[in-house]
Amino acid sequence: MARLVLHIGLHKTATTTIQDTLFHNRALLSDYGLIYPFVGETRGHHGLVSRWVPMPRPYSLRGDPEAEWIRIAKDYADAEGIVFLSSEEFSRAHPRRVDLDDLRRLSEPYESVQVICMLRGQRAFLQSVYAQISRDRPAPEVRAFIRSALSSGFADGLWMDYKALAAHLETAFQPDELTFLSYEAAAASEGGVVGEMLRQLGLPLEASALKPFGAGNGRSNVSADPLAAMVAAAISRPGVAPAPLIGLVDSVLRGQFGAEMRGTIFTPDESAEIVRRFSPLNASFESWRSALQPDLKLASLSVSGEEIGRDRLTRPVWEKIARAVYRSGDTAQAARARKEAMVGASP
């Protein structure tokens, strides 16, 4: 019988890259015993989550999601190998979440089930979530967004307290059925996140043997510079920041602060608060998992190297952005940028 592996995210841990790469190489992977089913209209398996969490097109399924779970089990559960299902929406906490008991029931046709969850340091995670929001929909005011995440432990409905996430998963899965990975360690490992996933699956394949999906370096859904995305979102509010505006802001900021600028949405005080809030929680989580995963170590939350935070967005910087936007021909956005310049404060 086949083993079932559920890759549940988290969001912003190269899940799309993993999904795109495995989908693109599913014929080769099947020769090594990895079954990556084709579900719905996307390369991930988000449609399966729509049994519990409403999903927009094209991520939802046209038919009954439970029927699709049953079809996959009928087609593959009696086969030899691994059935790999991947969606970061498996791990969403709010406003709707997966019924884990029901998910466990749907996993019963398989010989065993393993849940793999990649965790990212909360500072980078929160920042990347904000950048994704600003790309998809009108972004919230950044200070309120950060305050909400720090007080609630959730970033746009996504877990930031990883011990609480593990405890939630253990309501339906045994501790040894869970595998947690550090995203930063995986990204730095041989073959990156795809290579680490292949090793976790026990496949005798190097990531270099797989064809990258699409153009470039094979990475998918890569976030823009966080500070540029935040500024563009502030200018575009209540609309969504278009990609050309983000690129324009990015070029102005790099002209101001240097081509190798590393932007961040956080002020130094907020970065320090994230360290105080989550470092003890991460240490507690690592200790809790140490009997099963003694080598698990999450990334440090301390800032390494110089970053340009939103506290550096002085009135002269905003004026430069406003002039660049005006020269691009978008007078409405230029007016909003000038308004920020008149305030002379970070958004």
Question: How do the pLDDT tens digits run along the chain, 347 residues long?
Answer: 999 999 999 999 999 999 999 999 999 999 999 999 999 999 999 999 999 999 888 989 989 999 999 999 999 999 999 999 999 999 999 999 999 999 999 999 999 999 999 999 999 999 999 988 988 899 999 999 999 999 999 999 999 999 999 999 999 999 999 999 999 999 999 999 999 999 999 999 999 999 998 755 556 656 678 999 999 999 998 899 899 999 999 999 999 999 999 999 999 999 999 999 999 999 999 999 999 999 999 999 998 778 999 999 999 999 999 999 989 887 777 777 777 666 544 55
Q: Which residues contact 124 (CB under 8 A, 6 or more apart)?
A: 184, 299
pLDDT value of residue 335? 76
Residue 311's Cβ-side half-sphere holds a number of Cα atoms within 13 Å equal to 7
Q: In angstroms, how far is the first alpha carbon of the chain from the final one? A: 55
Q: Which of 143, 179, 154, 149 is nearest to 3 (CA)?
A: 179
Residue in the block written with tokens 């094979």:
218
Tens digit of pLDDT for each residue in 93-121?
999 999 999 999 999 999 999 999 999 99
Is the distance from CB of 86 to CB of 22 less than 8 angstroms?
Answer: yes
Q: What are phi and psi of 183, to 5 degrees?
A: -60, -45
pLDDT for position 341: 63
Residue 285: the pLDDT is: 99
pLDDT digits (tens, 9 = 90+) for 275-306: 999 999 999 999 999 999 999 999 999 987 78
- Beta bridge partner(s), residue 154: 159
CB atoms inside a 10 Å sphere around CB 179: 17
Return phi, psi of residue 116, to 5°: -115, 130
> What is the Cα–Cα distance from 279 to 300, expressed in whole angstroms?
8
Supply the pLDDT for residue 305: 76
Q: In CATH, what class is 3-122+158-209?
A: alpha beta
Instruction: Give residue 204's pLDDT.
Output: 96
* pLDDT at residue 345, as a whole number: 47
In the chain, domain spans: 3-122+158-209, 226-261+313-343
Residue from 70, 80, 82, 81 nearest 109 by CA: 70
pLDDT at 219: 61
Half-sphere exposure of 132 toward its Cβ, with a 13 Å CA cutoff? 17
What is the rounded CA–CA span in Å between residue 113 and residue 204?
Answer: 21
The whole-number pLDDT of residue 339 equals 72
CB neighbour class for 217 (10 Å; exposed up to 12, middle 13-18, buried from 19): exposed
Its pTM stands at 0.93
Q: Determine the Cα–Cα distance for residues 312 and 182; give it in Å rounded to an integer.
A: 31
